[in-house]
Amino acid sequence: MAKTATESADRFMLRMPPAVRQRLAAEAQKAGRSLNAEIVARLEKSLEQESEVQQILDVHEERLDEHETWSAKHDSRIDALEAIVRELRSDLMSMMRGG
């Protein structure tokens, strides 16, 4: 006869502070689950969230790379424009002084 998922699952002894156990037991009761099912559900959720966070970080890293590439391409143009603005500002100041 084939074993059920529960029967084939690994057994794992876990020590935890009594206060944590009490909180988990209360949450398990609210969710209508056993303490074991609550612990497993929370572990699975944390692993899923970790994966989602990593995906978000990967996307942001790609965007940062794109920004750095764009910035490198445009820095010289920005520098040239800033030089023009400084020159125009200087010319304007000279004109205002009557020069």
Model confidence over 41-53: pLDDT tens digits?
Answer: 999 999 999 999 9
Q: Do 38 and 27 touch, CB atoms closer than 8 A? A: yes
Q: Do 24 and 38 touch, CB atoms closer than 8 A? A: yes
In angstroms, the CA 80 to CA 83 distance is 5
Model confidence over 22-67: pLDDT tens digits?
Answer: 999 999 999 999 999 999 999 999 999 999 999 999 999 999 999 9
Tokens of 7: 């029967």
What is the per-residue pLDDT for 99?
62
Query: What does the domain layout of the chain look like in residue ranges?
Result: 15-96
